[in-house]
A and B are shown apart, each in its own frame.
Chain A
Amino acid sequence: MILIKDKWTFKLNLSKYIIVFILVALMIFSGILSPAFLKPRNILNIFWQTSYVGIIAIGITFVMIAGGIDLSVGSMVALLGALAIQSVNKFGDSALSVFLSILLTYGLGILLGFGTGLLTTKGKIPAFVTTLGGMAIYRSLVLNFANGGVYMTISRKYSDIGMKFVLGLPLPMIVFIAYAIVAYILLDKTKFGRHVYAVGANETAALYSAIKVDMVRTLTYVVSGVSVATSAVLLSSMMSSVSSSSTGNGFELDAIAAAVIGGTSLSGGKGSVFGTFFGALILGVINNMLVMLNVAVYLQGMVKGLIIIAAVLLQNLRKE
């Protein structure tokens, strides 16, 4: 009996870890084709480059498990990044000013997440519509205040954050990993996390179990807002600028793709931070590999698409 049970959990784990195998296989494959790929420096770069979308993808995982979707994250990165930069410019180049600006950015991120949540739950507007609206509104605000141009800061204190190395590792990478661990605990080890799954799997059942469905849903958008704020601070400080027209473009699709590659269901109830973390890394490895292998410009989309489909297909085959 015990034997059978062990075998069963092993099998479950295997299907969970298959995404790690896919990642490793991709890396070995790229390493064979281009030895420079496996340089430690490049691996760090991949982590670094993935972190911005990766952090957002972790937030979106909460939203998607609870049965929602957030399309506004890309524009929100630009909006929050612009806010951070403008406040640093206003408050001056000091540690306190940077701290205040970041606080403000998180404040707006939480507020916007909360607003989206309320509109979706209390206003009964489908999340797709609320966040599609948000995507248009945030982008248009960013464009309007910059007149279509670029928000820039010359604050050294602020731009040092995004370029910082701690113990030889880029700060965005450290934040990404730490963020994933905290999110994992929140989703897998707390009551809130269990409620998120319950709401997404079966709303009626969740209601009968006295779960505050609307509250849980709303909070998932707040988590998404916090993730976007984190990403926005890291990205805008690294570039010391936010382009009102291009910063964050397409982040929403990459983040959703990372979550889905990691096994998050588009219809809610299923998913994990673990999966999303590696899903995001797979996307990062693909992007890096395209450059490393100098894949022909027009074929890059095809290569990317094929690998994504194959990654999800492999996981599905494993499950059966």
Chain B
Amino acid sequence: MRKFLVFLVLAIVVLSFAAKIRVGVAIPAADHGWTGGMVWWAQYAIKQYQNDPDVEFYLVTAKEPSEQIAQVQALMAKGIDALVINPYESAPLTPICVQAFRQGIFTVIVDRGINSEEYNCYIAGDNYMYGYLAGKYIAEKLKGKGNIVVIRGIPCSIDDERVQAFKDAISLYPDLKIIAEQPGYWSREKAFEVMQTLLTKFGTIDAVWTGDDDMLHGVLLALKQAGRDKNMVLVGGACEKNMVKMIMDGHPLIGVNFTYPPNMISTAINLAVMALRKQDLNGFYQRGIPRKIILATETVTKENAKDYYFPESVF
């Protein structure tokens, strides 16, 4: 009898161990609001599985590409069935992601692509529409005429794509002019400084587009301080929670926001688990998880803001 019990326990342990799905999640450490949001959403998604004994997660955050490579190597040495990764940089992280894929680890690349097609799934936000919709909104709001200030993020390819799309959208209106285009490095303090300076330079500014909501906070402060927080169209982006709250409460200058959701990491984590469990996507005639997913940029207004307001999130 005792032998049987021991055998039973052993069998259960072995079986449950074998059936357990192990998912490694590798993302950059929080270095501005949005990345902070991604860390929060990763933790949130993992928490949703806490009562599920068949899944186990290892979450790591890196401050630089080399650290992330080391972390992924460690995860692979430990043994994982799926890797969900937001690469810190494309080029340096490509080899390790490819290696994971070749070892049969279900590899989900999030937002920043790698320089290879060897992965299982790629999920990202839509940078083009993120800039384009902001430009279109401002153009329509100004009725095609006025001076626009652009405060962009850290100059990089993602930021370039957004700014280019913004310019594409307003290029349909010859009377719209971008009078200044300066980097605010996705930081409140920096955007405050830049806006303060631009306010002294220009007597009339009709609209300001900032690459994200953190910077819009800085701009708002500068406007308030200079007493010029009226008759202006302000557009940020990425739906930082306090900004969404302002829209929800009917802010006089900020009427719209556009998503570039940090919770794409949560979706990516779910996709990895679904793929390992051989689940399919609802409504798809095909089996499995799609290989490339570009999330739509959603428009947030006073009417639907409450669906995008996550007070407990950090972003």
Contact = CB atoms under 8 A, between A and B. Distances in A.
Interface of A: 34, 36-37, 39, 41-42, 45, 48-49, 143, 146-150, 152, 163, 235, 238-239, 241, 243-247, 249, 287-288, 290-292, 294, 297-298, 300
B220 to A, nearest CB: 11
Given A42-B201, A300-B183, 13 more contacts: A42-B197, A48-B196, A148-B36, A148-B314, A149-B36, A243-B214, A244-B30, A245-B36, A246-B185, A291-B182, A291-B197, A294-B182, A297-B181
Nearest to A35: B201
Contacts of A42: 197, 200-201
B32 interface: yes
B152 A245 contact: no
Contacts of A298: 155
A291 B36 contact: no
The DSSP consensus for interface residues of chain B is helix
**Size class of B's contact patch?**
35 or more
Contacts of A34: 201
B297 to A, nearest CB: 23
B193 interface: yes
Question: Which 4 residue pairs are nearest across A and B when measured between Cβ atoms?
Answer: A149-B314, A148-B36, A148-B30, A36-B201
A56 to B, nearest CB: 14
Interface in B148-205: 152, 155, 180-183, 185-189, 192-194, 196-198, 200-202
B225 interface: yes
8 contacts: A42-B201, A149-B313, A241-B188, A246-B33, A249-B31, A291-B193, A292-B197, A297-B155
The DSSP consensus for interface residues of chain A is helix
A283 B222 CA distance: 21
Contact of B188 (A36, A146, A149, A239): A239
Most A CB contacts (10 A, CB to CB) among B39, B180, B182 go to B182
B148 to A, nearest CB: 13
Given A245-B30, A245-B35, A41 B182 contact: no
A59 to B, nearest CB: 19
A297 B152 contact: yes
